A and B are shown apart, each in its own frame.
Chain A
């Protein structure tokens, strides 16, 4: 008797601990009612300082908190006035004069003046700050010399405040894409008084970016930053275009795991996700197509060849390897989210530029080339090693390519999986034969892809160097007229697609889930969605 009572009692305890359900309103329902947007943002941002951070995660936050001279239209990404209300080009594209709007204000009410930009760009170039994006400012006259410590006097650098509302900019060379850069975080202004209150201008990681300290000039201001939990920004009433801002708050969650993020979306905890697991694409395509947003992204997935050592120093071998993979198979059977097979290095239709040079899939020709290189039927071809960084998708693509090379060329490949930092180290020291790589363009111009492979390029890990290519890229930097410039870049890309230090595989897509409550969110190639233009309306 006693035992039975005991047993029942214990079982009851087990059940009550596991089965207490709680009713709650979802974030999405509550957020839509109060104009609070809940966004998955990938990871904890390293910092919120626009002159220290480089990633997309941080950019999304900077974009909410700060504004550059120019901004972008949320749909077609065309440049629009930001802090500058108008601008004028002069001296054959070498100088610009910006007129700042009178009502541009910092979130503490101070006016945004031309001197703020001079201070901010100087800060971005101070060597001790350790700004990885300092090179983005090298287009300014003498900026590179200043950053490298060759000149100490910042007055020699090509930026000057003529008065509070007029900013003069002088460039090293005419750069037709210069205006694009002004919408990039590396050119964003910071509030001088705030920076100096918390440390020297070139001190890394001071407390100025903390809630309560942060002063910005964007449509939103920083309200809360709970490490690894969330970041909350709220509407900035001092913003010059505050009337256009519909959202009261944006809440950013650092969710790394795409599966978790998808679950949170499904349970109504997020309006917008940062990513989508591969295996869920099909489900959303069939069941909830209105929430699925897939769009080509300004980024290429490719393999690089170490051209310094045999057999990959032979151009015919590289051509044979490039020609013998079926990219369509890879995008249709493996990546499956609508990625575009890439037959050249730059993504299609980059600000009016689409590469004419194309690599093809031609196994027959590939075998001939390999035979010409001295390996008929893959005979005597040494085993080569293909390195990729840890990721299920990279692994599957590598296996597919390994197969294709085996079947089409009878070439044997071993796979080498490395953790991220080891992979970077091996690439950098050219301790590899074939390696997986990816590149995201910094701004909408093909040059941000093509200047990767100049001989002196810090990101050219292939050992490949071509004088004509270097000349073309250098010459293109001096030409203003877009058509002539693009003709030079076409020629350069044709060289790249013949020499093939790089084997393009596919163009990435951005993948997000977006609640139908969200208005004003438009897919675009940079995957940039200014929160300024977003609003929330219940969808049912």
Chain B
């Protein structure tokens, strides 16, 4: 297992370097620079700015410098926010995005696995169709529709929850987490329903039933472990998606996360900021996929065997 993890970590290095190179080249190739403004910047000011941020040097020198500093953990100064380093911006935004992503995932698991199991217990009946119809709706409903709808209902009509903000008023984390998590809840519901139905018809379940085991033990101890495997392998990409895809929800709910930098860094040609955020998120995606694979190996003896021996 250790060998497997080490191997995967080593494989991550070329992936991350490639991501950095491509992002670096793309952002530098895009027309317009970080200091272009609506009011023309006088050439003498621009010259000093380019010198200050070393943009007057050849691109390979810039890239080498960036990589060297990044390896030492210094992602450079932001161009748009002169007083802030990229490290500082990420340190302020990432915990928020991560927390939001975790709540959303928690919500998705709770709702998704719950309704998936409910549906799988009585396939092709009302108990199956109703949650699955909701799940299909959840997949179809984008967050920029669902978010404002939830705000209208719980924030404005019922006045139960704050309409926006993060750690400003109690309860303000609830609606964004639900909005962000709902799409994933829907996927997880479908995945767990499928997994459970398949598992419940397998021989070892029949054996358990024949032995007269209570249904709850059959479901929770025996069926879930196998039936939820597809959900587990979905978790890695899901968390990565939650972290990189939180921009819309962060905008709707005025959340000080990383999402807005991910999008605006590119619009503002804030080279260092977009590189820093991309590098961070790429590393996380690699990491989460690894964790998901490890978990699968741990849950599924068949895969575990293959991982260790091959």
Contact = CB atoms under 8 A, between A and B. Distances in A.
Interface in A1-34: 2-3, 6-7, 10-11, 13-14, 17-22, 24, 27
Nearest to B215: A2
A166 B36 CA distance: 39
A420 B37 CA distance: 9
A227 B121 contact: no
Given A263-B163, A421-B30, A132 B39 contact: yes
B161 interface: yes
B82 A267 contact: no
B31 A422 contact: yes
Contacts of A148: 44
Contacts of B122: 3
B227 interface: no
Contacts of B234: none
A422 B36 CA distance: 10
B7 to A, nearest CB: 38
B251 A421 contact: no
A466 interface: no
A13 B114 contact: yes
Interface string A204-221: 111101100000000000
A264 B254 contact: yes
Interface stretch (A45-53, A157-165, A522-530): A45-53
B114 A425 contact: no
A537 interface: no
Contact of B169 (A18, A19, A24, A421): A24
A46 B162 contact: no
Contacts of A128: 48, 52
Which of A2, A22, A149, A263 has the largest count of B CB atoms less than 10 A from its CB?
A: A263
A269 B162 contact: yes
A14 B45 contact: no
A329 interface: no
A269 B165 contact: yes
Which of A204, A419, A421 has the largest count of B CB atoms less than 10 A from its CB?
A: A421
Contacts of A424: 32, 36-38
A466 B268 CA distance: 34
Interface stretch (A254-262, A334-342, A374-382, A481-489): A254-262
B252 A2 contact: no
B69 to A, nearest CB: 17
Which of A13, A24, A27 has the largest count of B CB atoms less than 10 A from its CB?
A: A24
Given A134-B45, A256-B260, A458-B42, A52 B82 contact: yes
B230 interface: no
Interface in B143-163: 148, 151, 154-156, 158-163
B164 A269 contact: yes
B127 A7 contact: yes
B297 interface: no
Which of B36, B92, B107, B252 has the largest count of A CB atoms less than 10 A from its CB?
A: B36
B95 to A, nearest CB: 12
A148 B42 CA distance: 10
A260 B83 contact: no
Contacts of A425: 31-33, 36
Contacts of B107: 17
Nearest to A458: B40
Interface string A264-279: 1011010000000000
Given A22-B171, A459-B39, A44 B251 contact: no
Contacts of B70: none
Interface residues of B, number: 71
A91 to B, nearest CB: 29
B42 A135 contact: yes
B89 interface: yes
Contacts of A49: 82-83
A131 interface: yes
Given A21-B161, A127-B44, A267-B162, A10 B115 contact: yes
Contact of A14 (B39, B82, B115, B148): B115
B32 A10 contact: no
Interface in A110-136: 127-132, 134-135
A17 B110 contact: yes
Contact of B268 (A132, A230, A421): A421
Contacts of A426: 31
A160 B51 CA distance: 31
Contact of A260 (B32, B154, B253): B253
B30 A47 contact: no
Nearest to A459: B40
Nearest to B256: A228
Interface string B249-265: 00111101100100000
Contacts of A253: 254
B229 interface: no
Nearest to A264: B164
B304 interface: no
A73 to B, nearest CB: 27
B154 to A, nearest CB: 8
Contacts of B288: none
Given A44-B81, A47-B82, A260 B166 contact: no
A135 B41 CA distance: 10
B301 interface: no
Given A17-B110, A130-B52, A135-B42, 7 more contacts: A18-B178, A205-B82, A206-B83, A229-B256, A420-B32, A426-B31, A458-B39
27 contacts: A2-B215, A6-B118, A18-B178, A21-B161, A24-B169, A46-B81, A127-B45, A128-B52, A130-B49, A132-B37, A148-B44, A205-B81, A228-B260, A229-B167, A253-B254, A256-B260, A257-B251, A263-B156, A263-B164, A264-B164, A266-B156, A267-B162, A421-B32, A422-B32, A426-B31, A459-B39, A459-B40
The list of the 9 closest CB pairs from A to B, nearest first, reads: A421-B32, A21-B160, A205-B82, A228-B256, A458-B40, A205-B83, A425-B32, A22-B171, A2-B215
